[in-house]
């Protein structure tokens, strides 16, 4: 009998960038890592402690020379690739962000826009040129000189990406990375994709993931990156004012957090959220859009006393549950021991965690049509946080 595969979980973030015609920016995977020459999106694997939004910003700049103006959540999906020869099963959570650019792209071909002779303009062969500094508008909104365009280093692998803007008709004829299809078809809310061994990982797997982590010496923190999905559920027409569904952490007197929790190995975030809301509140969840993604990085004690360098990635969804059913905890010996509708006006006095406040602000911005980037920028990166809403705690 084959031994069980070790689960490896990682998170990748990508930018959806379109030009004025609606064509999508796609890149070829760097030469040598994909013999099929499939096309993907700018971005990459989220590093420990890094906000996925920052990975999109950095990946876009490194791979194309383009600079993002705004980056807002779009959707999330997941896929699993089993690698028996390596003894691992790789679960990749994929986060997509809509990106608008500073200026207009130059040197990147697209519909009605032929390729520029990049060799003559850049001296670096087919490397992408990025944005045209002369097209940046208005100049008084730009950061300090030197931050306009970072020319890729020709000696780095990221300088070898080849890309173009493709119209939907072109995309349908191209060889695309497998994870892209559900997003392009508007059908990314199902189960996680199960890819065959012949499907190459995108991005390629970090060799460090192949090494089984050994025991850490006492008081040396263990690196943990944990993606989780939560829902902002608000009854706007409740008697006495709006109320928000929250779950109380087990063992606490008054620590209330959003319903939701960790995404298990092989799970798509939406089914994971439905499962968590049923376990914590006993209510059927009707899915809503992804409205925010937050990142928290801190060192502290886990539920069982282990010292951890902990990176929490939290996907925040809107949605709804029945208002005429009383919430009740279904999971026995789980991380929460009560669920209740808490008046929004009483969140502070009730003991709601900072994440609940930030998620409510994102939900309000979503309903009001405010740009989420502004909400995320002012959301509580400056707040303190605690080792909370942990699996099995």
Give domain status of residue 226, yes or no.
yes
Are residue 266 and residue 311 in the same domain, yes or no?
yes
pLDDT greater than 50 at residue 392: no
Give domain status of residue 29, yes or no.
yes
Burial of 382 (0-12, 13-18, 19+ CB in 10 A): exposed
CA 371/CA 118 separation, integer angstroms: 36
Quick count: other Cβ atoms within 10 Å of Cβ 265? 16
Question: Tokens 């032929």 correspond to what residue?
Answer: 114
Are residue 54 and residue 126 in the same domain, yes or no?
yes
The 10s digit of each residue's pLDDT in 77-108 is 999 999 888 889 999 999 999 999 987 776 68
CA 316/CA 296 separation, integer angstroms: 13
Are residue 44 and residue 162 in the same domain, yes or no?
yes
For residues 388 and 211, which has the higher predicted lDDT (pLDDT)?
Answer: 211
For residues 264 and 376, which has the higher predicted lDDT (pLDDT)?
Answer: 264
pLDDT band of residue 53 (cuts 50, 70, 90) is: very high
The 3-class SS string of 265-323 reads: CCCCHHHHHHHHHHHHHCCCCEEEEEEEEEEEEEEEECCCCCEEEEEEEEEEEEEECCC
Are residue 228 and residue 175 in the same domain, yes or no?
no
In degrees and rounded to multiples of 5, residue 334 shows phi and psi of -90, -165
Q: Which domain holds residue 363?
A: 222-378
pLDDT greater than 60 at residue 393: no
CA 137/CA 135 separation, integer angstroms: 6
Q: What percent of the chain has pLDDT over 70?
A: 76
pLDDT greater than 60 at residue 139: no
The 10s digit of each residue's pLDDT in 165-193 is 999 888 888 888 888 877 877 766 677 88
The structural domain count of the chain equals 2
Are residue 101 and residue 134 in the same domain, yes or no?
yes
CATH code, domain carrying 301: 3.90.79.10
Average pLDDT, the chain: 80
Contacts of 155 (CB under 8 A, 6+ apart): none
Q: What is the pLDDT of residue 29?
A: 63
Burial of 185 (0-12, 13-18, 19+ CB in 10 A): exposed
Picking from 378, 188, 192, 217, the residue whose alpha carbon sits closest to that of residue 306 is 217
Domain boundary among 179, 210, 241: 210
Question: By the 8 A CB rule, do 180 and 40 touch?
Answer: yes
Are residue 178 and residue 320 in the same domain, yes or no?
no
The 10s digit of each residue's pLDDT in 228-260 is 999 999 999 999 999 999 999 998 888 999 999
Are residue 203 and residue 255 in the same domain, yes or no?
no
Give domain status of residue 386, yes or no.
no
In degrees and rounded to multiples of 5, residue 256 shows phi and psi of -110, 135
CA 202/CA 94 separation, integer angstroms: 10
Contacts of 151 (CB under 8 A, 6+ apart): 65
Give domain status of residue 391, yes or no.
no
Quick count: other Cβ atoms within 10 Å of Cβ 3? 7
């Amino acid at each position: 009998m084959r031994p069980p595969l070790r689960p490896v979980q990682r998170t990748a973030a990508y930018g959806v960038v379109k030009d004025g015609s609606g064509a999508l920016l796609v890149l070829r995977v760097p030469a040598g890592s994909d013999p099929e020459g499939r096309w993907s999106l700018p971005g990459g694997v989220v590093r420990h402690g890094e906000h996925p939004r920052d990975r999109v910003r950095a990946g876009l700049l490194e791979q194309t020379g383009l600079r993002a103006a705004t980056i807002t959540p779009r959707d999330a999906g997941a896929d699993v690739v089993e690698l028996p020869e390596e003894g691992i099963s790789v679960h990749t959570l994929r986060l997509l962000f809509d990106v608008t650019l500073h200026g207009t792209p130059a040197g990147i071909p697209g519909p009605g826009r032929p390729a520029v002779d990049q060799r003559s303009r850049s001296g670096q062969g087919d490397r992408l040129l990025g944005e045209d500094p002369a097209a940046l508008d208005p100049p008084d909104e730009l950061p300090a000189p030197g931050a306009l365009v970072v020319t890729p280093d020709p000696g780095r692998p990221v300088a070898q990406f080849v890309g173009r803007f493709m119209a939907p008709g072109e995309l349908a004829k191209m060889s695309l990375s497998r994870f892209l299809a559900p997003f392009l078809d508007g059908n990314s809310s199902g189960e996680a994709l199960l890819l065959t061994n012949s499907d190459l990982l995108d991005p390629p797997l970090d060799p460090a993931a192949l090494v089984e982590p050994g025991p850490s010496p006492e008081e040396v923190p263990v690196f943990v990156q944990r993606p989780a999905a939560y829902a902002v559920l608000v009854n706007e027409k409740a008697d006495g004012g709006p109320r928000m569904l929250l779950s109380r952490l087990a063992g606490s007197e008054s620590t209330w957090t959003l319903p939701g929790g960790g995404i298990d190995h092989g799970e798509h975030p939406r089914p994971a959220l439905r499962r968590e809301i049923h376990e914590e509140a006993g209510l059927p969840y009707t899915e809503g859009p992804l409205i925010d993604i937050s990142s928290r990085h801190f060192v502290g004690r886990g539920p069982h006393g282990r010292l951890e360098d902990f990176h929490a990635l939290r996907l925040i969804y809107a949605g709804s549950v029945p208002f005429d059913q009383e919430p009740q905890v279904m999971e026995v010996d789980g991380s929460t021991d009560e669920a209740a509708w808490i008046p929004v006006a009483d969140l502070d006095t009730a003991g709601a965690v900072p994440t609940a406040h930030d998620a409510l602000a994102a939900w309000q911005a979503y309903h009001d049509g405010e740009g989420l980037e502004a909400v995320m920028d002012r959301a509580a990166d400056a707040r303190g946080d605690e080792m909370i809403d942990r699996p099995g705690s």
